[in-house]
C-alpha cells in the first residue's frame, strides 16, 4: 500500500515541478494579451497655458486647456486583420480632443493604431492612420510590452508621424508602485495642420496657401509599471508654433499652444488602482503560482521518498515468548 502511495506522490511531484516553468515561460506569454474590446478614456490638463486665439491670431494665457484621449477597441476590424495576420491583433480607434477653457474645440485628431495583442509590436494593415493620413508605425505607442525591460524603446510620435527612442531614466516609486521612468524629447519639427480646425472656413489647405507652417516640440514623460507595461502616469511639456506666411501679418511666428500637460488627479488615482489590480494578476502567473507549484512538487517528492523508505524497512522480528515455570508442589 505504501509503495502505491509513494508512486502516486512521485507522479504528482513531477507534474507540479514541470507545470511551474511551463506556466511562466509557455502559458503566460500566450495568455497575457490586451483584450480586443478594450475601452479607455484619459483626461489631461494644462493649467495657465498659452493658447492661440484664431479670431485675432494672437496668443493669450488661459486658465486651463483640457485634452481628452479616448482609445476604443474595434473588435470587428481586429478579427478581419487576424485572418491574414495569423496572430492576435488589437485595433484601437483613438481620438485626441483638445478644448479651451470655454469648452470649445481647439483641435481633434483621430488615429487608428493596430498592434500585436501579446507583444504590443505594430501590425501594418490597411487603415493604420493618423488624422486620416496613412502611416506605418515603428515602435510602441500608448503601452509598453508586458515585462518591460530597463532599456530604451522606440516610440511613435503621432504629431510628427515619426519614431524616435524614448529613454529609460531609472526606477522610481510612484504612489506605492514600482515604476520605470521614461523620457523622450522631440525637437522642433514641422508637422501637418489638423484636418479639423477651430474656426469655420479655415482648413489645412487654406492655411497652406498662405505659406504659414506649423511646428511642434515636446518633452514626453511616462511612469510605467514594468510587469503590465501600463503607464500609471504621463505628462508632456508641449509647445506649438505657427511660422511665416501671410496669415501672421508679417510676424515670424506666433505660439499656437504652450503648456505643461498632466493627467488629471482623479484619472491618476483610477489608473494607479487599475494597474495595481492587473499587476497582481500578472504576479500570480509569473511568480506566485510557479513558485507555489515548485514548492508543492518538492514537498510531494520528499513525502514520496519517505513512504518509499518506510516500505523498504525490514519488519521487526516477532517477540520471543518464554515458557512460564511450572508450579512446584510439595
- Its pTM stands at 0.86
Please, which residues have CB within 8 angstroms of residue 257's CB and are 6 or more apart in sequence? 49, 50, 51, 52, 65, 98, 106, 238, 239, 240
Q: Over the stretch 283-301, which tens digit does the pLDDT of each residue have?
A: 888 888 888 888 887 888 7
Torsion of CA 26, 29, 30, 33, to 10 degrees: 160
Cα–Cα distance, 258 to 50 (Å, whole number): 5
**pLDDT digit string (tens) for 243-260?**
998 888 889 999 999 999
Range 312-319 average pLDDT: 60
Cα distance between residue 65 and residue 279, in whole Å: 32
- Grid cell 532599456 is found at 151
- pLDDT tens for 202-242 read 888 888 899 999 999 999 999 999 999 999 999 999 999 99
CB atoms within 10 A of CB 139: 17
All 3 cell numbers of residue 267? 484619472
Between 10 and 49, residue with greater pLDDT: 49
Integer angstrom CA distances of residue 236 from 91, 110, 183: 25, 19, 10
Burial class (CB in 10 A: 0-12, 13-18, 19+), 122: buried
Sheet holding 230-243, edge to edge: 133-134, 129-130, 105-116, 89-99, 58-73, 39-53, 253-263, 230-243, 213-225, 177-191, 162-174, 153-157
What's the pLDDT at 313?
Answer: 60
Q: Are 46 and 259 in contact (CB under 8 A)?
A: yes
Q: Are strands 129-130 and 58-73 parallel, antiparallel or unpaired?
A: unpaired
- Supply the mean pLDDT for the chain: 89
Position 329 confidence tier, pLDDT thresholds 50, 70, 90: low
**Mean pLDDT across 101-123:** 93
CA–CA distance, 71 with 110 (Å, rounded to integer): 10
CA-closest candidate to residue 185, choices 153, 160, 215, 220: 220
Amino acid at each position: 500500500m505504501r509503495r502505491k502511495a509513494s508512486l502516486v506522490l512521485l507522479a504528482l511531484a513531477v507534474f507540479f515541478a514541470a507545470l511551474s516553468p511551463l506556466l511562466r515561460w509557455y502559458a503566460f506569454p500566450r495568455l497575457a494579451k490586451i483584450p480586443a474590446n478594450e475601452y479607455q478614456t484619459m483626461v489631461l490638463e494644462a493649467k495657465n497655458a498659452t493658447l492661440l486665439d484664431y479670431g485675432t491670431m494672437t496668443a493669450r494665457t488661459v486658465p486651463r486647456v483640457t485634452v481628452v484621449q479616448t482609445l476604443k477597441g474595434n473588435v470587428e476590424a481586429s478579427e478581419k486583420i487576424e485572418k491574414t495576420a495569423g496572430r492576435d491583433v488589437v485595433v484601437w480607434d483613438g481620438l485626441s480632443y483638445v478644448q479651451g477653457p470655454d469648452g470649445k474645440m481647439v483641435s481633434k485628431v483621430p488615429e487608428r493604431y493596430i498592434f500585436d495583442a501579446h507583444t504590443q509590436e505594430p501590425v501594418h494593415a490597411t487603415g493604420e492612420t493618423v488624422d486620416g493620413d496613412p502611416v506605418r508605425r515603428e515602435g510602441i505607442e500608448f503601452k509598453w510590452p508586458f515585462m518591460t525591460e530597463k532599456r530604451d524603446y522606440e516610440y511613435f510620435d503621432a504629431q510628427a508621424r515619426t519614431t524616435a527612442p524614448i529613454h529609460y531614466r531609472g526606477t522610481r516609486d510612484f504612489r506605492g508602485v514600482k515604476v520605470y521612468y521614461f523620457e523622450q524629447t522631440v525637437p522642433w519639427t514641422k508637422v501637418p495642420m489638423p484636418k479639423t480646425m477651430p474656426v469655420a472656413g479655415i482648413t489645412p489647405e487654406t492655411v497652406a496657401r498662405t505659406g504659414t507652417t506649423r511646428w511642434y516640440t515636446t518633452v514626453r514623460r511616462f511612469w510605467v509599471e514594468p510587469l503590465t507595461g501600463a503607464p500609471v502616469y504621463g505628462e508632456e511639456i508641449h509647445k506649438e508654433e505657427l511660422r511665416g506666411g501671410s496669415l501672421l501679418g508679417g510676424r515670424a511666428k506666433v505660439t499656437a499652444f504652450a503648456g505643461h500637460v498632466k493627467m488629471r488627479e482623479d484619472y491618476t488615482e483610477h489608473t494607479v488602482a487599475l494597474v495595481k489590480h492587473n499587476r497582481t494578476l500578472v504576479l500570480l502567473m509569473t511568480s506566485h503560482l510557479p513558485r507555489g507549484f515548485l514548492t508543492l512538487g518538492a514537498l510531494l517528492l520528499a513525502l514520496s521518498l519517505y513512504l518509499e523508505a518506510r516500505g523498504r524497512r525490514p519488519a521487526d522480528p516477532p517477540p520471543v515468548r518464554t515458557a512460564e515455570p511450572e508450579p512446584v508442589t510439595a
